[in-house]
A and B are shown apart, each in its own frame.
Chain A
């Protein structure tokens, strides 16, 4: 399968701290791929490097063959990469519908003058955008909440709205930063289904950062493990679960997540 995104020897430093150290990384097209690792392993920084928020100090990132490491975030977004954030970052004082409409910004072309004059083209464009936004609301099960201020939505709805906003940019690659954070098992089960649907129905490649091992193991086709900014392992869920370096990284530091343990146990059971 062709890879949609290729990172070559990407390094990012903050002063003396090496947040991402010479990471090679590849995402096959139309796949669901995860990055895992303990807290502070450099996962989010790596995300930021892909989306252009941080500029890598060394290395190269190719998106569909185009180097993007020197582009601004808005340019990268227009190439077809969208993301969500670990701590939900919606436009809190705007309505749900407006949040999605902002996501559609790049597909709207009204100049300020024609917007003021309200030319037929603008009216048509706005109507189209509104229809599309409502469709996306429906897609993430937020039908009827369009006029609610984003900050007034319940937590889970905010997560879904953030995804809908990202989808509005019609991405080819969607980066989800801990989408299941704060969800109960039931909700994360739904999330797994939802992410599969994104890939299967819309053909979007998905890259996840996730702590919740049940989600990661259940959904990913390929997993990369970062620790201290370095890639310590990659492979299929099964390979990762039995990888001694990974287990050490998680357990050895005493910061073991329950998820990892349970996933591990389940694996043992299956094997036994």
Chain B
């Protein structure tokens, strides 16, 4: 019995459809860009402004993405609650910062006034992540893959709505830090101090993380465990401890990202982790999940793309208020990358079997 006509048609439709999507998206981007550029609606300074904003945003995504990538690398599991860990960090920092602000500490010592909330956020986020790992993930480590994913979704909702219970559904305004007001104008491009701080802080954190993973004993053990848990265990590595420290390290990065996010957007609420969480996951996949430098690159690419995209090609396509569709760009990138290159732009680590 040969393949039926219907089946061959279906194959044709599938391939045609997939190519259609590629071409349509590419065309939309190219045409939109050409139209926008030819209209000259924006000055080049404005474009650079978009890019700067995108880089700052992308740095935050990259910080969160590290947690996804590290956990996936070691457990092959999507830590759905990671975005909410980011949220817990932001909340922790908020209360510390508010307190420091009311006693006037921040004005007297802006550097420590920034650093202390960040450190607190990192510790809090790490603690909560370890708790989540212990309760919701560890007992399920050998279960079929959907099981820990669903448990992670549960953990995500539990965290969100526990925080909603603790702090209410309203938005909290992060206290203003005078030292961060204003910015500089370089070649007509206005760069805010906050943006510089965010990028610098993220770069430092990532450098520290990279150092930990590459050169410390724990980091080497992490890499060993991500290659093979069994072999690592045979080499005398305490696999549980390493997995917990992976969660803690990733969560600490997310917690710090939560503070940076609050500094940029100035307001926090219990649901703030969801969208950045998905986007950071996109960044992680974009860079090749399991690949630490990849997460950094992926975050920056996503941030910049999302920042210039609405003005660059959506506006050119005649879409009103294109910034409303900023998230659509990110989600489309997510779907496309999962569809066409699940190994990411940098990653070769993920074979078909693992995906």
CA distance A98 to B2 in the complex (A): 25
CB distance from B13 to the nearest CB of A (A): 16
Please encode chain B, from 1 to 40, with 1 for each CB lying within 8 Å of some chain A CB and 0 for all others: 1110000000000000000000000000000000000000
Q: Output the nearest chain B residue to A77 by Cβ-Cβ distance.
A: B1
CA distance A245 to B2 in the complex (A): 41
CB distance from B240 to the nearest CB of A (A): 27
B residues less than 8 Å from A79 (CB atoms): 1-2
Please encode chain A, from 71 to 96, with 1 for each CB lying within 8 Å of some chain B CB and 0 for all others: 00001001100000000000000000
Q: Output the nearest chain B residue to A78 by Cβ-Cβ distance.
A: B1
Q: How many A-B residue pairs have CB under 8 A?
A: 7
CA distance A106 to B3 in the complex (A): 11
B residues less than 8 Å from A78 (CB atoms): 1-3
CB distance from B305 to the nearest CB of A (A): 31
B residues less than 8 Å from A75 (CB atoms): 3
CA distance A231 to B2 in the complex (A): 31
Q: Output the nearest chain B residue to A80 by Cβ-Cβ distance.
A: B1
CB distance from B351 to the nearest CB of A (A): 9
CA distance A268 to B280 in the complex (A): 68
Q: Output the nearest chain B residue to A15 by Cβ-Cβ distance.
A: B351
CA distance A141 to B291 in the complex (A): 52
The B-contacting residues of A in range 78-124, CB under 8 angstroms, are 78-79, 106
Q: Output the nearest chain A residue to B1 by Cβ-Cβ distance.
A: A78
Q: Output the nearest chain A residue to B7 by Cβ-Cβ distance.
A: A75
CA distance A78 to B3 in the complex (A): 8
Please encode chain B, from 130 to 157, with 1 for each CB lying within 8 Å of some chain A CB and 0 for all others: 0000000000000000000000000000
CB distance from A71 to the nearest CB of B (A): 8
CA distance A75 to B3 in the complex (A): 6
CA distance A72 to B1 in the complex (A): 14
CA distance A212 to B147 in the complex (A): 38
CA distance A78 to B2 in the complex (A): 7
CA distance A78 to B1 in the complex (A): 6
Q: Output the nearest chain A residue to B11 by Cβ-Cβ distance.
A: A72
B residues less than 8 Å from A106 (CB atoms): 1
A residues less than 8 Å from B1 (CB atoms): 78-79, 106
CB distance from B146 to the nearest CB of A (A): 13
A residues less than 8 Å from B2 (CB atoms): 78-79
CA distance A165 to B2 in the complex (A): 21
CB distance from A34 to the nearest CB of B (A): 28
CB distance from A57 to the nearest CB of B (A): 15
Q: Output the nearest chain A residue to B4 by Cβ-Cβ distance.
A: A78
CA distance A106 to B1 in the complex (A): 10
CA distance A26 to B66 in the complex (A): 51
Q: Output the nearest chain A residue to B3 by Cβ-Cβ distance.
A: A75
CA distance A79 to B2 in the complex (A): 7
CA distance A158 to B269 in the complex (A): 54
CA distance A106 to B7 in the complex (A): 13
CA distance A79 to B1 in the complex (A): 6
A residues less than 8 Å from B3 (CB atoms): 75, 78
CB distance from B60 to the nearest CB of A (A): 35
CB distance from B291 to the nearest CB of A (A): 17
Q: Output the nearest chain B residue to A75 by Cβ-Cβ distance.
A: B3
CB distance from A55 to the nearest CB of B (A): 11
CB distance from A170 to the nearest CB of B (A): 10
CB distance from B82 to the nearest CB of A (A): 31
Please encode chain A, from 33 to 56, with 1 for each CB lying within 8 Å of some chain B CB and 0 for all others: 000000000000000000000000
Q: Output the nearest chain B residue to A66 by Cβ-Cβ distance.
A: B2
CB distance from A105 to the nearest CB of B (A): 12
CA distance A106 to B4 in the complex (A): 12
CA distance A252 to B2 in the complex (A): 46
CA distance A266 to B2 in the complex (A): 47
CA distance A168 to B351 in the complex (A): 33
The A-contacting residues of B in range 284-323, CB under 8 angstroms, are none
CA distance A200 to B142 in the complex (A): 44
CB distance from A144 to the nearest CB of B (A): 30
CA distance A200 to B3 in the complex (A): 29
CB distance from B2 to the nearest CB of A (A): 8
Q: Output the nearest chain A residue to B348 by Cβ-Cβ distance.
A: A15
CA distance A13 to B1 in the complex (A): 30
CA distance A218 to B304 in the complex (A): 68
CB distance from A260 to the nearest CB of B (A): 29
Question: Can you list 7 pairs linking A and B with CB atoms under 8 Å apart?
Answer: A75-B3, A78-B1, A78-B2, A78-B3, A79-B1, A79-B2, A106-B1
Which residues does A use to contact B, with CB under 8 Å?
A: 75, 78-79, 106
5 smallest beta-carbon distances between A and B, as pairs: A78-B1, A75-B3, A106-B1, A79-B1, A78-B3
